[in-house]
Amino acid sequence: MLDLLLHGGTVVDGTGAKGFRANVGVEGDRVVFVGAEDAPAKERRDVTGRIVCPGFIDPHSHADLSVFRENHASLLEPLVRQGITTFIGGNCGMAMAPIQEKHRDAIEAYVKVFTQVDLDRDISWKSMGEFFDFIENQGLLLNAAILAPHGLLRLNEIGLEMRLATDEEMENMARALETALDEGAIGLSTGLQYVPGSQSDTRELLHLGRVLRKHDAIFTSHLRSYSSTLDKAIAEVAGVGEQCGIRAQISHLFWVPDLGWAAPLLQSITRLLARLSKWWNVPIPLDRPMQERLDQMMAARARGVDIRVDCMPTTTGFTHALAFFPPWALEGGGEAVLNRLKDPEERRRIRHSIEHGKMTWPHTGPDAWTLNLFRLMGWGCAHIMSVATERNQRLVGMNLVQIARERGVHPFDAICDLLLEEEGHVLVFESMAEPGDAFTERSIYAGIKHPEAMVSTDAILMGEGKPSTLFYGCHPHFIARYVREMRLLPMEAAIRKMTGLVAEHFRLKNRGVVREGAFADLVVFDPDTIASRATFYDPCQYPEGIDYVFINGRCVVDRGAFQPEPLPGRLMRGGASASS
């Protein structure tokens, strides 16, 4: 007798093939048949009129920053409720392991900006393997595969020194990467736009890439630039993939124009058109730069480079506030940075770097970084996402111009003062115009439609502040907005981008498809009603139209009821520690 029979639904199997009417039988954690046959089952669900597809796989998540916490099932509930059954963690060069003693203070400052974790109080492991053992012993809500973080490997070896690595230091990082891969990491992630990754060069990446090749491990990259030198940044990652013979992944591809001397005027026009888009959306093809970069990626694929990309279905990004500052201002870590912000002369230097720095390739110079979003997008681009103290909670959701006006200061002083008040713990959204507006949304259409572009959330769920709408409704929004409403792509292509394509590129065996022998990670939804209810100002809203979510054969979402226990997720290790 089957454990479960899903009867009468339309199966969209994750391969891109046309949907078909079939029953799906499950025994234990596996799908045992997909077809017309009927069979007795302990549980029988009539899913007529519904789509049955693989559980969504998030290729770019930071859920690993929450998965070790005792309350992680509650924190990550929004992911499962929107149909995500598997995530790839350890992205942007950031993860919770390995953590060594040599530069522990620098690592704590780096990790604490996002997580507010106290290493002595909250962390009982040092190696990647010990971290994996910890979360496996505790249990996981959903499946996870985790990348080794270049940022931590570099901090463990060099600390927060703003310089290139020596040959000896690169060799030590390579050995540390080898250990992490042997212990189960599935690849290496880099955050080349952030300190400390921004201080590396291509030579360092190639040195580490040769280790990845021995393990058939993937190389993922938050690029060195998403603006005027985006083509060079993509070429760097494609070059590492090509020279090392490894799979490569471009993380959350987007594009921010460098408007040069005309930036203030053009930013104002953009914001006006964004406001008008509620009534009239000017038909300007803003996605041409994105399409050109996707064409560049496809040219690399035509040369034999196994490279793909993921995109977020939003124009509102998020990061920590200190990422807006020049790299030289971050040297020395937490206390040193805050002391600079207290010093009026240092503040003037930092503001001068922001307003006059030259964003020149390869962006390793003191004023050459490309996450200079205040210059690219204007002071009003930053909305407060999260703060640590109660006194400033009312500022969450406000932008810097609004806060500055209220306090009677320049927006730069407003963010400096807020960082001091919060001891550096400020996360922000950034958006060229209105969060979620229909005008700047046009800039992402090329990635939305592209067959080799996956769908990602970039999820950071800590149980505080204002989450992104993607954390609650990324995949339902993608289907409702771009498949049902705008018809930019068919349902089968959309499901493949969220399931089978990810599993194929990240080598997640027997995931991302509905077929005999595959793991029973399944989502059942109504194609006519599935939608996100999350908005920028009210994001904590679960989606509509999802009936069931199964993880490894266990029903975790049952017609709106969330039932996490017993925890059904599994850690998918790579390398020598991989299990069947």
The pLDDT score that the predictor gives to residue 117 is 86
How sure is the predictor about 575, in pLDDT bands with cuts at 50, 70 and 90? low
The pLDDT score that the predictor gives to residue 59 is 98
Using a 10 angstrom Cβ sphere, with 0-12 exposed, 13-18 middle and 19 or more buried, the burial of residue 389 is exposed
- Joined together, the tokens standing for residue 214 give 């021995």
159-163 mean pLDDT: 91
CA distance 21 to 176: 49
Residue 559 pLDDT more than 50? yes
Give helix 128-138 / helix 167-182 axis angle, nearest 10°. Answer: 30
Q: Which CATH class is domain 1-55+508-529+537-564?
A: mainly beta
SS3 336: helix
CA distance 8 to 5: 10
The pLDDT score that the predictor gives to residue 464 is 85
CA distance 375 to 366: 16
CA distance 105 to 94: 16
User: pLDDT digit string (tens) for 479-500?
Assistant: 999 999 999 999 999 999 999 9
Name the residue ranges covered by the structural domains of the chain: 1-55+508-529+537-564, 56-264+273-319+437-507, 321-430
The pLDDT score that the predictor gives to residue 85 is 98
Closest CA to 104 of 176, 154, 155: 155
- Joined together, the tokens standing for residue 473 give 């409704």
Other C-beta atoms lying within 10 Å of the C-beta of residue 135: 20
The pLDDT score that the predictor gives to residue 116 is 82
The pLDDT score that the predictor gives to residue 580 is 39
Residue 465 pLDDT more than 90? no
CA distance 522 to 142: 12
User: pLDDT digit string (tens) for 112-159?
Assistant: 878 888 888 999 999 999 999 999 999 999 999 999 999 999 999 999
The pLDDT score that the predictor gives to residue 432 is 87
Q: For 140, list phi and psi in degrees, rounded to 5.
A: -125, 140
241-255 mean pLDDT: 97
* Residue type at position 71: N
* Residue type at position 10: T
* Angstrom distances, CA of residue 413 to CA of 121, 358, 389, 523: 33, 22, 19, 48
Instruction: Output the average pLDDT for the chain.
Output: 95
CA distance 561 to 24: 22
User: pLDDT digit string (tens) for 357-368?
Assistant: 888 899 988 888
CATH architecture under which domain 56-264+273-319+437-507 falls: Alpha-Beta Barrel (3.20)
The pLDDT score that the predictor gives to residue 436 is 84
- The answer to whether the beta carbons of residues 207 and 167 sit under 8 Å apart is no
User: pLDDT digit string (tens) for 67-76?
Assistant: 999 999 999 9
The pLDDT score that the predictor gives to residue 576 is 57
59-83 mean pLDDT: 97
Q: What is the distance in angstroms between the CA of the first residue and the CA of the last residue of the chain?
A: 25
CA distance 455 to 83: 13
User: pLDDT digit string (tens) for 89-123?
Assistant: 999 999 999 999 999 989 988 888 788 888 889 99
- The answer to whether the beta carbons of residues 258 and 227 sit under 8 Å apart is yes
How sure is the predictor about 578, in pLDDT bands with cuts at 50, 70 and 90? low
